[in-house]
Each structure stands twice: as structure tokens, then as C-alpha cells.
Amino acid sequence: MDAITLTRPDDWHLHLRDGAALNAVVAHTAAQMGRAIIMPNLTPPVTTTALALEYRDRILAALPEGSRFEPLMTLYLTDTTTPDEIERAVQSGLVKAVKLYPAGATTNSASGVTDLAHCDASIAMLARLGMPLLVHGEVTTPEIDIFDREAVFIERVMKPLLERHPTLKVVFEHITTADAAAFVASAPDTIGATITAHHLLYNRNKMLVGGIRPHYYCLPILKRERHREALLEAATSGSHKFFLGTDSAPHAKGDKESSCGCAGAYTAPAAIELYATAFDQVGALDRLEGFASLNGPRFYGLAPNADRVRLERSTWTMPKSFPYADGQTIVPLLAGETIGWKCRDLDA
Ligand SMILES: NC(=O)N[C@@H](CC(=O)O)C(=O)O
Ligand SMILES: [Zn+2]
Ligand SMILES: [Zn+2]
């Protein structure tokens, strides 16, 4: 297949940041995606519906002229989030989910949840109102190896959470292990998962062999090849539970190429092309539309986008960097390298 037409995809896990950074990155996503679930890990975090609606206005103001991109907002769950706040979020119609960051798990998670027991009433409200809880699924205890943090989270946190709240809708975000893929596949239909393009394309060698490559450092960290294979199998299986979430996570070049580099891969400039590359590698391009454009809206109870994009097998070179906030630059994944697919707008 040298070209494929898809219902316009959505990104069910995206970081847009704020201010000048937001202005620098939002057009990359808006060029491809119809909608995106916007992560709330700003500083300070987006903890209330009022803050989420203000952030939404700033995103809309930063969009290129004529863009129809729709940001779907989220709240950052803390130990002190109230059930009333959850109700306000649902009533707004514009906040679509609540995000659980275990405290200390990842970028800007210092205000995250220290113990889920503190959030029991808010989570019960989510379950009652049918709003999904999006979960960064890694334990943070120092004695657990960073490569095991997701698998241990399933046993210590995810299973007890679902036993206590069996009707809760949960998205296991950016899954990176065979363990998480198997857990989600065998869970009820109320449990879904997002998978990034970089975890479908690369194992940890990409980050560590022949020199340390900070642009491949993200959380959860890249895993062994057998995990990559399991993720690709899940994404291309045709199961409705798995859907596209880039976790495109912009950080300035200097913050990545540093003695203590930030976690996050900037994939938005070639998001759908990277997924097409991964699906093509296993001859599963016919499954891409379900994963990228249909399964996500189905999970969130939304209609798929009405317009389409066309992906063509054609090579182009990813720029080495893009302008970012405050005179800095940002380095996209595969900077200066060849991409084998190109997304074109149809019906524009
Ligand atoms: N994925 C990452 O490595 N980083 C994300 C946070 C997250 O999604 O965990 C970020 O905000 O930079
Ligand atoms: Zn995360
Ligand atoms: Zn993320």
C-alpha cells in the first residue's frame, strides 16, 4: 500500500505546555489531529474546572487562523480534589477526564497523589458520573527498578483501584510493557490504554547503544524488545481498547541535552507518520484507522471526526529543530532524519 485515507485521527494524550511554548508547538498537532486530550501538568497544575477552561481559551487563542482543532481538557487530581470539583468538571462539558499522577512519577508531578485513599470520594464520583480517570501507571518507591515500575503498578495500585471501583472508566496511559498490554486486553471494556508511537517503534537500545541519546528519554522509559513487540501486537490487534496517544512532551533543547535531562519525546511534528511507520512494519496499515481515529472516540463516547487525512508513502526530512519559547529551540524525535510517510489534509 502506498497511500491510505483515514478518518482524521485524534491524540488522546498530549502535552501542550503554556505561554510561548504553547504558541510554538500547538500548530504541529492541530495540522494533523482533530482533537486532543490535553495533559494538565502545568506549573502550577490545572486542578480546577475554572483553570481548565482558562487554559482551553489560551489554547484556542494560540491556534493558527481557521484551525478547527478541539482541545479536550483534563483536571490534575490531587490529594485534596473534592467530589464537587469532579461534578463541576463533568457539568462543564469541556473537561473530559481527570489525570492521576502518582507524586514524583514524572515531569511536573510534585503535586500528584501521595495515596489513592485520599481520593476515594472523588474517584467514586468519577465512577458515578462516567468520567474517565487517566493514569500515569508507575510506582515511585525508590527500591523498585525504573524498568519495573509499570508492571509493579498493576499489582500494587491498578488492581486494588479497580476492585474498589469496579465501574470506573480508566485509561492506562502510555503503556510500555507486555504486562500492561495483557492486563488491559483481559480487563472489562471500561479499561482502555493509549500507546505512543515511540514505544511502538523503539526499544531501550535506541536510547542507550552507541552513546546516550536524550531525545529518546521519556517516562515510562523505553523497555526491552519483547515489550515493544507486545505493544505493537496490541495496537494492531483490532481490539477497541487500544488507541493513539502520542505523549508528545515538549522540552527545550537545553533541558533535554543536559547533565540532568528532562523526560519527554517531542513527536507531534510527525505523529501520525510515526504510527504509520510502525503499523506498516508489521503489514497492519489496515488497522491504523481503528487505532488512530475510531477507538478513542468510542471509549470517550464521542463521534469520530467527520473529515479525513491521506497518508502517502513519500520521504521527507524532519527539521533539526523548531523555534521554542524564549529564543530557545526544540528538537523533534528523528531530527534531521528521513520519515517514510507524509500526512496530507483532505477536505481542507
Ligand atoms: N512522558 C514524559 O516523559 N514526560 C511528560 C510527562 C508524562 O507524560 O509522564 C512531560 O510532561 O514531559
Ligand atoms: Zn505520564
Ligand atoms: Zn504524558
- Please report the DSSP string for 183-211 in residue order: HHHHS-TTEEEEE-HHHHH--THHHHTTS
Could you read off the pLDDT of 228-257 as tens digits, one per residue? 999 999 999 999 999 999 999 999 999 999
Is residue 251 a known part of a binding site?
yes
Could you read off the pLDDT of 164-205 as tens digits, one per residue? 999 999 999 999 999 999 999 999 999 999 999 999 999 999
Ligand 3 ion: Cβ-proximal residues, 5 Å cutoff: 247
Could you read off the pLDDT of 74-105 as tens digits, one per residue? 999 999 999 999 999 999 999 999 999 999 98
Could you read off the pLDDT of 97-144 as tens digits, one per residue? 999 999 998 889 999 999 999 999 999 999 999 999 999 999 999 999
CA distance 218 to 249: 9
Quick one: pLDDT at residue 321? 98
Asked if the model's pLDDT at residue 348 lies above 60, the reply is no
Ligand 1, atom 2, residue with closest C-alpha: 264
User: The whole model's pTM is what?
Assistant: 0.98
Residues with CB under 6 A from ligand 1: 15, 41, 106-108, 136, 218-219, 247, 249, 263-264
Residue 107, classed as helix, strand or coil, is coil
CB 63 within 8 A of CB 84: no
270: part of which helix (H) or strand (E)? none
Is 247 marked active-site?
Answer: yes
Assess whether the previous peptide bond of 9 is cis (omega < 30° from 0). no
Radius of gyration for the alpha carbons in the chain, expressed in angstroms and rounded: 19
Asked if the model's pLDDT at residue 346 lies above 80, the reply is no
Q: Give the single-character DSSP code of 39.
A: P
Write the CA distances from 113 to 85, 104, 120, 139, 188, integer angstroms: 16, 9, 11, 11, 25
